[in-house]
Every structure is written in structure tokens, then in C-alpha cells.
Structure 1
């Protein structure tokens, strides 16, 4: 190990999760694996080939740089779809390499056609429709211009999809908004179909919509957080178990984040530990120094709150989390030694540190914690 911590990614857990999700959506629905945010912290270069081994043939990324990283590690035939940022200078690369991409504003549509003409190759487009998220997409008022442009330039374009994104399908408080979005999406799609503009696919469902709104499965689902073994929200989790007698979680978490004890220190009663005076030893203590801090993705907000696992027991973070190290109380752990394994996230013995626990102790969402894990933490595949 040439780093202060490392991440394990489970092949069998991923296969389990993909099998479950495909069972939910059915065999006719395309499964797109969303690997934006460095595959939600799991590592694009490590995760994508693993997903291919588990039967994935379609990937969704946010930007051209993520698509480029994917092309370098995805040997099997695969479809890549850019959902977000694509600079005009990158359009030629995308079209030349048959990368599919969202269009959500007139300029991108115009530029895509211009580049497609110049290299004599069709641009593979997904037209994003604005239905109430108010982020990106063509609204109903701008749709007539889009229709005219698509018709007049059809020889340079391949309409792969019509799509939208829901504004909070993971929460029941957004139910009316999501239902209104579905209605608007249908209206806009119908308008395009009336002009004989027929996409290969209709798609709108993220992980939460896959579970909460089965009618949104359409031709393809874009699944992110759930393939990694995490539920989009406690509500989605509760809703699923409310509808099923089986109470075993069908998802398995892929990730384990581990390090080792760097040093041990005896701290006398009454002494302060670490920077400032946030923690004072209430007794003589043994403290383990862990070589992971906020620069490695362990939030400073977990100072005096977080837990790790050592020798199958929980150890509490004491003092402020530093840039590169943190201290944990191991006074209660017998025979603790330097180089003992430390689990920051995952299982050890009968105990586990969940991603959700980070959110409970801080303001971090599970998405936020995972995507903040630095690129240079080594990722290794385990069974």
C-alpha cells in the first residue's frame, strides 16, 4: 500500500445490486450505469470494467473528461452518454467517437449540427426537456424552434433520446411536483411525435424514480446511487420495505474504506488532544493516530463525533480532525497495536460504519461523502 488509506470495491455486491435493479425494471428496459462524480467515489477506471463484467453496456457521465476516462478503460462495446458539460471544442471528439450527449439549449444544437456537417458524421443526441426542475432543458415555449431545427437538419442528427430529470423523486413531499413533471414530459413528447420526430428511447428515471414511480421506467433508466448499494433516501428505503414482506436489504454496499494505525500515544488525564481545546482527556487514555484527515475526504465536521472500527470495536474520534491525521480513543481496546487495520467505512467483525452514519453525525449527504473521496486513494477490487 503506497498511500495512507485504500478503498475496496466488491464485485459480488455490484452483481447483486445490478441483478436486483434489472429485476425491478424488467428485461426490456435499458440499464444505464451513472458514473459521474468519479463513479460516486468508487473510481471510474476501477468501476467501469467491473460493471461491464456484471453485464452493463451503457454508461452515463456528466462531462467530456469523464467520457474520455471511460473510453480508456472500457474494452467491451459500450454506449457512453454525456448528460452535462460538453464544451464546443469537445463536440468534434464526441461526434467522431460516437459519444451520445444531451442537448438542452439552442447553441449546443446549432454547434452540434455544424460539427456534424464538417466531419460528415451524425451527432447522436438526447434532447433534454424542461419539465419543472428548472436547471437545463428546452421548455414547451422553445420546443417549436427545436422541432423546426431537427426536421431541417435530420440528415446530420441521430435522435437517440428524449429525456428529463425529476426534481426530488426521493421524497414524498415532492410527489405533486414529480407527477406534474411526468405530465409535462408527456405533453412535450407528444408534440414532437406529432411532427414525426421519433427518438430511439424515452428516459427520465433516476434511482429514486425507479423505485417510487415504476411508470417512469420507459425505455431506459439512469441508475446511480443504488447500483453502489445505497438507497437514495430513508423514505425510498422505508417505502420499499413497506411494500415487501422480506425485510432483508436487497442491496449490498460495494465500498470499504480502510487504513492502519500510524502511531499510539498515552495521554494523561487532564491533557488536551490535538489542536485547540475541543477535547480534554477525562482519564488516562491511549490514543491511536490515524493517517487520514479532511484532505483525504474525512470531514472535519466529524471531529469528536466520528467512529472507526479497530479489532472489531468502535473507536471514537477525539479532538479536531486534522488535514492529514485524526486521533481516536482506543483505551478500551485490548492489545491494540501499531499497524492494526482501521475501517473508516464498511465492516469489521460484527460491526459496521455505514455511509448513512456519516450523514447522521454531520451535514453530509451520502452522495457528498462518496464523491469527495480523493481520486488518488487506491481502489482495489475484491470478490
Structure 2
């Protein structure tokens, strides 16, 4: 292989996760697969066709460039929805290709109307309302103007949805804030309906809200992290598992990140390893040099803290992680050879290295660590 590491994406694990999620939401709620951030690091081009083959019929991305990558990757037509950035110059492309998109300010609504009129084709929009996240969304004070604009542009704007996003459904400490958002959302939806604006879909729930607030499922849920096999937070997992007789995690991680031993090095007791003096050999040591460093998404914060799997055994990272490499202690792992498989993330034998363990060591979130995996690491589909 030309590359120094590669990522495996498990088809059976994804099918398991989608089946589990659909079991929670039931047959009458649509599942939108959120694949922003390069499918949370898993690779849009590799993940999306796999998800479509597993029964996904609706995808959500953040930006127009992600939508374009998705459009080029899928073998069959599907529904695409842009939740965030789309420049005015990209609206014509989006509308022409039947791509749905969030509208959260008057400028985008007016521009979409102009472009739709020019094309003689309706723009499929989802009105995002502000309920307390204070990020994007029409303020309640802007709703009357928004309603007037929608009514006046009814020939060119198709109201596909009304939506909002919750500010921290993964933690109970945000419970009151979430409930206030739910109340605000309901109120604003009713205001739209009183003006004869009835959206095709209502949607508010992310992974955490899907589990913690079943009343927020509405017509569709937008699921990111859980389809990849990760819980939004330990608290969300505890909440779910406490209600189950069988205390087993129903999700399966679909990602394995692997490399190999590039070289083997013997170091004498007392010698420093790598840059600086952060690690001094406490004994004669044998090291495996692994050709993955912070340029490849393996955080420098894991220097002297991280670990990998070699021959099914945990091997500690020693010394400072380099741009393109790291050193790991294999002194107590017999018969390690050059080119030996190294698991950076995932399972080998009976051992596993989880993203959560990375997060605990480097103070990064699951989401952050996954999305930092470079796009040019090959992603391979496995059973």
C-alpha cells in the first residue's frame, strides 16, 4: 500500500446501527443520515453508498461542497439536505439539482426566491427557527416577515420543513433549556400553520435528543454520531442502558484505523527517545516505529499517553509524537516483525482501542477526533 495507514469501514456494523436506530424511532419517522465533517471522518465517498445500500433514503450535510461530493458518490437518487453553508452563487446549482436546504435569514430566502423564479422551478427549503441555541435560525420577532415572504413566494418556494437544533440534549443539566426550546418550537410552528403554511416535515432531534426526548422525533430525526457506533455522551448511554434488561451496548463501531511497523529500534537504558527529553528509557527497550503522526490525525497531545495494538497487545506510545511518526514500546511483546499490523483505533484480537479512550487522554471529543482524520487516508469497505 502506498499510504502509511488506512481506515476500514464495516458494512455489517453500519447495518446493525441503522437497524437499532430505526427500532427506536419506529416506522413512521424518517431517518436522515448526517454526513457532515467528511461523514464524521469516515469518508463521504465511502460511507454514503454503504448507508444507501443499508436503507438510508435521506442525507444531511453542512455545506454545498459536501452536497456536491455526496451527489457524485451515490449510485441512486436520494434526498439531500444542506443544513448550513450555501453561498448565494450556489443556490442555482442546488435548486436545479433538487437539493433541499435550510433557510435561516431573509437574505437567503429572497435570493432563493429570485433564483427559483429564474429557473421556473421551486426551491425546496427548510425554515430553521431560533429556539434558544443562538446560532442560526429566524428569531421569533422575524417570523411575521418570514411568513409574508413565504406567502408571497409560494409559487417558487416549497416549504419542505421547519426545524431547529437543541443546545445540548446529551446532558441533563441542559434539560430546562431543552424543554424551553421544545415549547418555543411548537409555538412558532403553530404561528406558521395559522397562516396556512404547513411544512411537509418537522424535525428537531439529533442523536442525543432521539434517545433522551422521544417527543422530539416528529417526522424526521437527523442522526450523526450514533450511526457510526458512538453515543453522544456517556450520560446518553447510561440513560438508555438503565432502561434495558440486557446491559450490552447495542451499537457497533464501524471504523478501524490501521498502520504497520515501519522499523524496529533498540534503545539502551537511560537514553532519551525522540525529540527533547520527555521520555527517558527506564530499561533497555525495543521500539516499533509507526508511520503515523499528528499530520495524519494522531494528536500530539497523546505523546507518552496513547497506545496502539500490536499482536493483540497494548503498546504504549513513548516520546513525543512526530508529524509523520510515533514510537511505541514493544519490549514485552515477543516476535514483532517489520510490517506487523498496528491498530491505532478499533479491534485486534480480544483488545480494542476506542475513540473515547483517545478523548479521555487528549481532552478532545469523539466528534473532534474522528473529523480530524485526514481525507486522504484510504477508506476500505469490509464486512
How high is the TM-score relative to the length of structure 2? Answer: 1.00
What is the DSSP-based 3-state SS (H/G/I as helix, E as strand, rest coil) of the residue aligned with 1:315? Answer: strand
1:166 corresponding residue in structure 2: 166
1:83 paired residue number: 83
Q: How does 1:348-367 map to 2 (within 5 A)?
A: 348-367=348-367
Q: 1:351-371: CA deviations, max 9, x gaps? A: 000010001111110000000
Corresponding residue for residue 69 of structure 2: 69
For residues 129 and 177 of structure 1, the distance between their equivalents in structure 2, rounded to whole angstroms, comes to 15
Q: Which residue of 1 aligns with 2:204?
A: 204
User: 1:1-383 to 2 correspondence within 5 Å?
Assistant: 1-383=1-383
Give 1:77 deviation, angstroms: 2.1
Cα distance in 1, alignment partners of residues 32 and 2 from structure 2:
34
Secondary structure class of the residue paired with 1:155: coil
Q: CA deviation at 1:139?
A: 1.3
> What CA distance in whole angstroms lies between the structure 1 residues aligned with 2:263 and 2:314?
18
| Per-residue CA distance 1:291-341 (angstroms, 9 max, x = gap) | 000000000000000000000100000000000000000000011111100
Q: Write the distance in 1 (CA, Å) between the matches of 2:23 and 2:349.
A: 31
SS in structure 1 at match of 2:17? helix
CA–CA distance in structure 2, aligned partners of residues 70 and 263 of structure 1: 39
Q: Which runs of 5+ in 1 are unaligned?
A: none
Deviations 1:18-49 (A, max 9, x none): 00000000000010000000000000000000
SS at match of 1:71: helix
In structure 2, how many angstroms separate the alpha carbons of the residues matched to 1:211 and 1:52? 23
SS at match of 2:257: strand
Distance in 2, Cα, partners of 1:269 & 1:344? 27
Report the CA distance between 1:248 and its aligned residue.
1.3
String of CA shifts for 1:271-294, please: whole Å, max 9, x gaps. 000000000000000011000000
Structure 1: how far apart are the matches of 2:313 and 2:62?
39
Structure 2: 5+ residue runs without aligned partners? Answer: none
Any idea what SS the aligned residue of 1:352 has?
A: strand
